[in-house]
């Protein structure tokens, strides 16, 4: 009986995080080894719900990351503690490992008098990745005089200590964003700001007292020190000839592209099990591309034998 082949070195991809995972000793780990999606992850994606995207990112990455730096296995808590840009980058590289580096998507021209559906194509390497210069768990900044925070006691503070948003923040706030985006933004600031002057771990009420200018300055400084992916596609509409920019949502695009109809997945498993007599576990543990390659080879062989007969 033919046996499915084991994963080869080509099934792994080593990447360098634009930010990095900081362990309990303060050591920054940036090298990550990824393995491609298997049928198990595809089955999970078939059950995905839109409000569960952040937690789904955590689950999929935890299953497909072999190691972070010298740490293996990788826990879900580690994935939750990764910076948002690092999670986006890993999803992008996981997509590259699973389906290749060419991305094709359909969008609608944003100009109201056009609105035509157009196809765009680009490579994963075309997406600019900006690394952090300083990889610190906590950053300090000083508000401008105009943005000075005035506490209930009348004391004024300008020094802000903050951390960068992580996957855990996305998970916790994902349901709130849908209901009240403004409150979700305030709660994110509350979670990320460690101190305002001598005020440690400010509560939601304290954060609400920050002026619009203070919030803007804090958010701008977060953007300056954070790693990021430039996820806005700029192109020219072939229909109307005008330039446009469309945000590229890595998470939703990735899961939408890879989400396999559960019935189709099970039919593929049945097809290989029927002809090769492999177990469901063996087939579902295969990377998607390898499973499809076996199906193509088998289909070609069956067609050849039918012609011979």
**CA 92, CA 82: separation in Å to the nearest integer?**
15
pLDDT at 48: 61
Q: Which residues contact 79 (CB under 8 A, 6 or more apart)?
A: 57, 58, 61, 62, 65, 87, 167
pLDDT at 118: 84
Secondary structure of residue 102 in the 3-state scheme: strand
Secondary structure of residue 39 in the 3-state scheme: helix
Q: What is the residue-averaged pLDDT of the chain?
A: 89
Dihedral of alpha carbons 199, 203, 209, 215, sign: positive
Q: Which long-range contacts (CB under 8 A, 24 or more apart) does 77-80 make?
A: 78/21, 79/167, 80/166, 80/167, 80/168, 80/171
pLDDT at 123: 86
DSSP state of 166: B
The mean pLDDT value for 262-271 works out to 90
Q: What's the angle, vertex CA 156, arms to CA 211 and CA 207, rounded to 5? A: 40
**CA 258, CA 46: separation in Å to the nearest integer?**
9
| Cβ atoms of residues 64 and 35 within 8 Å | yes
pLDDT at 91: 93
Helix (H) or strand (E) holding 47: none
**For the segment 24-53, what is each residue's pLDDT rounded down to a tens digit?**
888 999 999 999 989 998 888 777 665 678
- The residues pairing with 67 across neighbouring beta strands, listed in sequence order, are 33
Task: Compute the radius of gyration of the chain from its Cα atoms.
Answer: 24
**CA 28, CA 21: separation in Å to the nearest integer?**
5
**CA 274, CA 151: separation in Å to the nearest integer?**
71
pLDDT over 50 at 139, yes or no: yes
pLDDT over 70 at 8, yes or no: no
């Amino acid at each position: 009986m033919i046996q499915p082949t084991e994963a080869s070195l080509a099934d792994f991809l080593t990447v360098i995080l634009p930010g990095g995972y900081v362990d309990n000793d303060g050591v920054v780990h940036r090298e990550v080894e990824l393995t491609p999606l298997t049928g198990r992850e595809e089955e999970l994606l078939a059950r995905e719900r839109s409000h569960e995207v952040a937690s789904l990112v955590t689950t999929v990455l935890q299953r497909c990351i072999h190691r972070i730096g010298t740490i293996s296995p990788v826990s879900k808590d580690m994935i939750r503690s990764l910076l948002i840009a690092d999670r986006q980058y890993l999803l992008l590289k996981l997509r590259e490992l699973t389906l290749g580096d060419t991305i094709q998507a359909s969008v609608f021209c944003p100009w109201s008098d056009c609105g035509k559906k157009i196809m765009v194509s680009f490579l994963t390497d075309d997406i600019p990745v900006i690394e952090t210069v300083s990889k610190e768990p906590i950053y300090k900044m000083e508000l401008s005089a105009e943005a000075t925070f005035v506490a209930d006691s009348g004391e004024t503070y300008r020094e802000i200590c903050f951390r960068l948003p992580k996957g855990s923040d996305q998970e916790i706030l994902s349901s709130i964003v849908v209901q009240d985006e403004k409150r979700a933004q305030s709660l994110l600031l509350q979670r990320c700001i460690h101190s305002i002057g001598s005020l440690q771990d400010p509560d939601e009420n304290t954060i609400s007292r920050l002026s619009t200018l203070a919030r803007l300055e804090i958010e701008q400084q977060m953007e300056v020190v954070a790693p990021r992916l430039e996820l806005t596609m700029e192109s020219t509409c072939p229909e109307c000839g005008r330039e446009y920019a469309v945000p590229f949502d890595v998470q939703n695009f990735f899961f939408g592209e890879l989400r396999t109809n559960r019935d189709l997945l099970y039919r593929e498993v049945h097809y290989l099990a029927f002809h090769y007599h492999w177990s469901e576990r063996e087939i579902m543990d295969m990377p998607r591309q390898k499973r499809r390659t076996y199906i193509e080879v088998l289909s070609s062989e069956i067609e050849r034998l039918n012609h011979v007969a």
